C-alpha cells in the first residue's frame, strides 16, 4: 500500500472516503482492524486527547502499542485525532509536545485543532504543526469552523444552528487557511456535530445531523485538498454518501462503535462480548451504511 497521504488522495479522486474509527477503549482496536480487513476495506484507527482524559485509552503510547500488536498495513493506519490548542474545557494545551510524541511513536498522520482560536492564530498554530509533521514525512489535518458536541452540557437547538449556518466553515477563510497553513487535509463544519462526551449526555442517542451539501461543494471547489467530516455517526446515509462525491475523503466515526462497546460491556460484563459488538457494528458501518467494502484495490494504487 502507498502512504496515507496518497491513499486519502485516491479516495478523493474516486469519490470515496476513508472511515476513521475512534477507539476510546483499547480492546476496541483489534475488532475494528479485523472488521476492516474482513470487509476488504481500508480505515484509520484514531485516538484523540479527550479519549485519554475522559475515557480509558490512557495515552498516545498505549494506543500505539495496542495498534501495532494488530497492525495490518494493507488495511489500516494510525491517526492522531483532535490535539487542541484550547481544549473543550477552555484550557490551553501543550499541543506541540503531544504531536512530537505521536510522530516519534510512528503515528501515520496527525491532527491539530485550532478551531477555538481566531483565524490568524489557527493558521499560525497549524503551520507550526504542518512543518513539524512534514519534516517527518507525516501529513497534517486541521480544523476550521465550529463543530459542536464535545463541550459540557446539551447542544443548542440544532435546527436553529443549521438554518443560520452558525459556525459553518467560511469559503473565503478556508481558501486563506489552506494557502497559509500548509495543512494536507481540512476538517470542515457543514452541519455535522460531534457525539457528546460529557457525563449525562454521552449515552444518549446522537442528534440526526444534516449536511449542507451545497456549502460543502463550494468549499471543495475553493480549495484543492481533501476535506474531512467529523461527527460521522448518526447522519442520514444520503447526506454521507453525497458528501463523498463533493470533497469529503475521510469520515470520523466514534459514537456508533463506542456505544456498542459500552452497552454490551454493561449488559454482559464481558470484554470479549463487547469486542464482538464492535466488530459487528464496524462491519455494518463499512459494508451497509458507508458502502466502503471492497475498496482496498482502488485505494492501493500508486500515483505516477
What are 135-153's pLDDT values in tens digits? 999 999 999 987 665 545 5
Q: What is the mean pLDDT of the chain?
A: 91
Distance between CA atoms of residues 169 and 207, nearest Å:
20
pLDDT band at 164 (very low <50, low <70, confident <90, very high): low
Distance between CA atoms of residues 16 and 29, nearest Å:
23
pLDDT digits (tens, 9 = 90+) for 251-273: 999 999 999 999 999 999 999 99
Residue 69 pLDDT more than 70? Answer: yes
Comparing 73-87, 130-144, 231-245, the range with the smallest average pLDDT is: 231-245
Question: Catalytic residue positions?
Answer: 81
Give pLDDT, residue 198: 42
The pair phi, psi for residue 170, each rounded to 5°, is -85, 140
Per domain, the residue ranges of the chain are 4-299
Give pLDDT, residue 90: 87
How many Cα atoms occupy the beta-carbon half-sphere of 40 within 13 Å? 6
pLDDT digits (tens, 9 = 90+) for 17-35: 999 999 999 999 999 999 9
Distance between CA atoms of residues 233 and 214, nearest Å:
21
The set of residues, in sequence order, having a beta carbon less than 8 Å from that of 154 and lying 6+ positions away, is: 196, 201
The pair phi, psi for residue 168, each rounded to 5°, is -60, 145
Strands 227-229 and 185-188: parallel
Q: Domain spanning 4-299 has what CATH number?
A: 3.20.20.70
- Model confidence, pTM: 0.91
Of 105 and 1, the structure prediction assigns the larger pLDDT to 105
Give pLDDT, residue 200: 41
Distance between CA atoms of residues 149 and 154, nearest Å:
8
Size of the chain in residues = 304
Share above pLDDT 90 across residues of the chain, in percent, rounded to a whole number: 79
Neighbours of 243 (CB within 10 A): 26
The set of residues, in sequence order, having a beta carbon less than 8 Å from that of 251 and lying 6+ positions away, is: 17, 18, 19, 20, 228, 229, 232, 240, 243, 244, 290
Distance between CA atoms of residues 77 and 67, nearest Å:
9
**Using N-to-C axis directions, what is the helix angle for 29-38 and 60-70, rounded to 10°?**
40
CB-CB contact of 258 with 11 (8 Å): no
Q: Residue 141: helix, strand or coil by DSSP?
A: strand
Distance between CA atoms of residues 188 and 237, nearest Å:
18
Sign of dihedral through CA atoms 280, 55, 121, 7?
A: negative
DSSP 27: G
Distance between CA atoms of residues 89 and 93, nearest Å:
11
Amino acid at each position: 500500500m502507498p502512504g496515507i497521504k496518497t491513499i486519502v488522495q485516491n479516495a478523493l479522486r474516486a469519490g470515496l472516503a476513508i472511515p476513521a474509527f475512534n477507539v476510546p477503549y483499547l480492546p476496541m482496536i483489534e475488532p475494528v482492524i479485523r472488521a476492516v480487513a474482513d470487509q476488504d476495506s481500508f480505515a484509520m484507527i484514531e485516538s484523540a486527547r479527550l479519549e485519554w482524559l475522559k475515557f480509558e485509552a490512557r495515552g498516545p503510547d498505549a494506543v500505539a502499542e495496542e495498534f501495532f500488536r494488530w497492525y495490518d498495513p494493507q488495511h489500516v493506519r494510525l491517526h492522531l485525532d483532535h490535539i487542541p490548542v484550547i481544549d473543550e474545557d477552555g484550557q490551553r494545551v501543550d499541543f506541540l509536545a503531544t504531536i512530537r510524541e505521536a510522530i516519534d511513536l510512528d503515528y501515520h498522520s496527525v491532527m491539530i485543532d485550532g478551531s477555538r482560536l481566531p483565524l490568524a492564530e489557527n493558521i499560525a498554530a497549524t503551520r507550526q504543526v504542518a512543518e513539524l509533521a512534514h519534516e517527518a514525512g507525516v501529513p497534517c489535518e486541521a480544523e476550521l469552523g465550529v463543530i459542536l458536541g464535545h463541550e459540557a452540557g446539551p447542544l443548542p437547538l440544532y435546527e436553529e444552528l443549521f438554518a443560520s449556518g452558525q459556525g459553518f466553515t467560511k469559503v473565503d477563510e478556508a481558501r486563506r487557511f489552506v494557502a497559509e497553513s500548509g495543512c494536507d487535509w481540512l476538517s470542515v463544519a457543514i452541519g455535522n456535530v460531534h457525539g457528546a462526551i460529557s457525563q449525562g449526555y454521552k449515552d444518549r442517542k446522537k442528534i440526526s445531523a444534516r449536511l449542507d451539501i451545497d456549502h460543502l461543494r463550494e468549499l471543495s471547489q475553493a480549495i484543492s485538498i481533501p476535506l474531512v467530516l467529523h461527527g460521522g455517526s448518526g447522519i442520514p446515509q444520503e447526506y454521507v454518501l453525497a458528501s463523498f462525491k463533493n470533497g469529503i475523503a475521510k469520515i470520523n466515526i466514534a459514537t456508533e462503535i463506542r456505544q456498542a462497546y459500552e452497552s454490551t460491556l454493561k449488559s454482559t460484563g464481558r470484554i470479549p462480548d463487547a469486542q464482538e459488538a464492535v466488530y459487528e457494528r464496524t462491519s455494518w458501518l463499512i459494508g451497509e451504511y458507508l458502502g466502503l467494502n471492497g475498496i482496498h484495490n482502488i485505494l492501493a494504487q500508486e500515483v505516477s
